[in-house]
Amino acid sequence: MVELNLLLSGQEEKPEVIWGDALEVDLGQPFDTVSVNAPMMPSFGLHLPWRADGGPDGNRILEAALRRVRLTPEGQLLARAWMVGSAARGRQVAWLQRLAREREWAATVTPTGSTKLERGSVDAHTLSESIVLYGAAQYADAVYEQLTDIRESTGVDRSFPCLLHALPSGKPEVTVLRTPEDGPHWRL
């Protein structure tokens, strides 16, 4: 894929490409471009015994990987992110706001869709089934009920797949782009 992109973009210099686990690969030097596609399975606070558990909001592994990244002054970071939240409260992006301040990044979050996670919905079942695939299938119904109870008690009723783009900046900030679905309820 890298070679195809270089060919299509007319690049003459072949960049050094580093592949590996974002939590383990050597990232000692600053990079021009970093792309991260970390596991994003939100557990909503339920203890799940597998490495792909993305933490309560689905971004624990992504956040840990991004904390390791150093960008050159002209560098950029591209990542897939999973934001959870609600129609009334918007997305939960506090982790990204903290990271942008710490790393002095200007970050833009582009929602690419949203999924309602209502009790009994196909999407809520699909999410629970995905979680169970990584864990123990015999607990599918119990996991679904626990996740649904946790989501309802915290007011989380949606998940939002997003693209994240970050650049070094003297003015750290996070901008979340609106989508037509967001309407007046969009808040950080």
User: pLDDT tens, 7-57?
Assistant: 666 767 777 777 777 778 887 889 888 888 876 667 777 766 555 567 777
pLDDT tens for each residue of 2-17: 666 666 667 677 777 7
What integer pLDDT is reported at residue 159 of this predicted model?
Answer: 77
- In sequence order, which ranges of 27-176 are alpha helices (DSSP H)? 60-67, 94-103, 122-134, 140-154
How far apart (Å, rounded) are the C-alpha atoms in residues 104 and 89? 26
What integer pLDDT is reported at residue 165 of this predicted model?
Answer: 94
CB atoms under 10 Å from CB of 76, counted, come to: 16
Which residue, 54, 33, 5, is CA-closest to 161?
54
Q: Lowest-pLDDT range, 56-65, 68-77, 85-94?
A: 85-94
pTM, rounded to two decimals: 0.74
What integer pLDDT is reported at residue 185 of this predicted model?
Answer: 38
How far apart (Å, rounded) are the C-alpha atoms in residues 49 and 59? 16
What integer pLDDT is reported at residue 184 of this predicted model?
Answer: 40
Reported confidence tier of residue 78, pLDDT bands at 50, 70, 90: very high
pLDDT tens for each residue of 81-114: 877 776 656 566 788 899 999 999 999 988 887 7
How far apart (Å, rounded) are the C-alpha atoms in residues 167 and 107? 6
What integer pLDDT is reported at residue 181 of this predicted model?
Answer: 57
CB 61 within 8 A of CB 39: yes
Q: Which two tokens stand for residue 36?
A: 């991260």
What integer pLDDT is reported at residue 118 of this predicted model?
Answer: 73
Please compute the mean of the pLDDT values over residues 161-176 and round it to a whole number. 89
Domain ranges of the chain: 29-116+156-168
- In sequence order, which ranges of the chain are alpha helices (DSSP H)? 2-9, 60-67, 94-103, 122-134, 140-154
- Whether 123 has a pLDDT exceeding 80, the answer reads no
